[in-house]
Amino acid sequence: MSELTISRRGLLAGSALLLASTALPTIGFAQTPKKGGRLIVAADSEPRNLNPAIVASNGVFFISSKIVETLAEASFDGKDGLEPRLALSWEGTADGLSVTFKLRDGVKWHDGKPFTSADVAFSALQIWKPLQNLGRTVFKDLEAVDTPDELTAVFKFAKPTPFQLIRNALPALSSVVPKHLYEVGKIEENPANNAPVGTGPFKFAEYKAGQYYRLARNDAYWGKDEPYLDEIVYQVLPDRTSAAAALEAEEIQLAAFSAVPLADLDRISKVPGLKVITKGYEGLTYQLVVEINHRRKELADLKVRQAIAHAIDKDFVVKTIFLGYAATATGPVPKNDPQFYTADVPTYAFDVAKANALLDEAGYKRADDGKRFALKLLPAPYFNETKQFGDYLRQALSAIGIDAEIVNNDSAAHIKAVYTDHAFDLAVGPPVFRGDPAISTTILVQSGIPDGVPFSNQGGYKNADLDALITKASETLDTSARTELYKEFQKKVAADLPLINVAEWSFISVARDTVRNVANNPRWAVSNWADTYLES
Partner 1 sequence: MNRLRRFFRSPEAIAGALILALLMMMALAAPLLFPGDPQAIAGPALLPPFQDWPLPLGTDRLGRDVLAELFHGARTSLAVGLAAAAAALLIGAVVGTSAGFAGGLVDEVLMRITDAFQTVPSFLLALAFVSIVGPSLGVVVAAIALGAWTGPARVARAEVLSIRERDYVAGARVIGMHPLEIAFREVLPNALPPVLALSSVIVAAAILTEAALSFLGLGDPNRVTWGGMIAEGRTVLRTAPFLSIVPGVALVLTVLGVYLAGEGVVESTAVRRSLS
Q: Which residues bind partner 1 (CB under 8 A)?
A: 240-241, 244, 261, 263-264, 266-267, 320-321, 381, 384, 388, 391-392, 394-395, 398, 405-408, 410
Q: Classify residue 221 by its DSSP letter.
A: -
**Is the Cβ of residue 222 or residue 257 nearer to partner 1 in the bound state?**
257
Using CA atoms, how far apart are residues 196 and 528, in angstroms rounded to an integer? 14
Query: Least CB distance from residue 392 to partner 1, whole Å?
Result: 6
Query: Least CB distance from residue 471 to partner 1, whole Å?
Result: 40
**Is the Cβ of residue 157 or residue 392 nearer to partner 1 in the bound state?**
392
Query: Least CB distance from residue 165 to partner 1, whole Å?
Result: 39
Instruction: Note whether 466 and 489 are within 8 A (CB).
Output: yes
Using CA atoms, how far apart are residues 85 and 74, in angstroms rounded to an integer? 10
Query: Least CB distance from residue 384 to partner 1, whole Å?
Result: 6
**Is the Cβ of residue 241 or residue 471 nearer to partner 1 in the bound state?**
241
**Is the Cβ of residue 409 or residue 447 nearer to partner 1 in the bound state?**
409
Closest CA to 510 of 227, 273, 232, 214: 273
Per DSSP bridges, beta strands 373-379 and 402-406 are parallel
What SS3 class is residue 233?
A: strand
CA atoms within 13 A on the CB side of 126: 19
Q: Which amino acid is at 250?
A: E
**Is the Cβ of residue 398 or residue 514 nearer to partner 1 in the bound state?**
398
Query: Least CB distance from residue 243 to partner 1, whole Å?
Result: 12
**Is the Cβ of residue 384 or residue 520 nearer to partner 1 in the bound state?**
384
Q: How many CB atoms lie within 10 A of CB 20?
A: 10
Query: Least CB distance from residue 397 to partner 1, whole Å?
Result: 11
Closest CA to 433 of 224, 288, 230, 244: 288
**Is the Cβ of residue 339 or residue 384 nearer to partner 1 in the bound state?**
384
Using CA atoms, how far apart are residues 419 and 501, in angstroms rounded to an integer? 18
Using CA atoms, how far apart are residues 453 and 459, in angstroms rounded to an integer? 12
Query: Least CB distance from residue 412 to partner 1, whole Å?
Result: 11
Using CA atoms, how far apart are residues 253 and 513, in angstroms rounded to an integer? 9
In terms of phi and psi (left: phi > 0; alpha: psi -120 to 50; beta: otherwise), the region of 258 is left
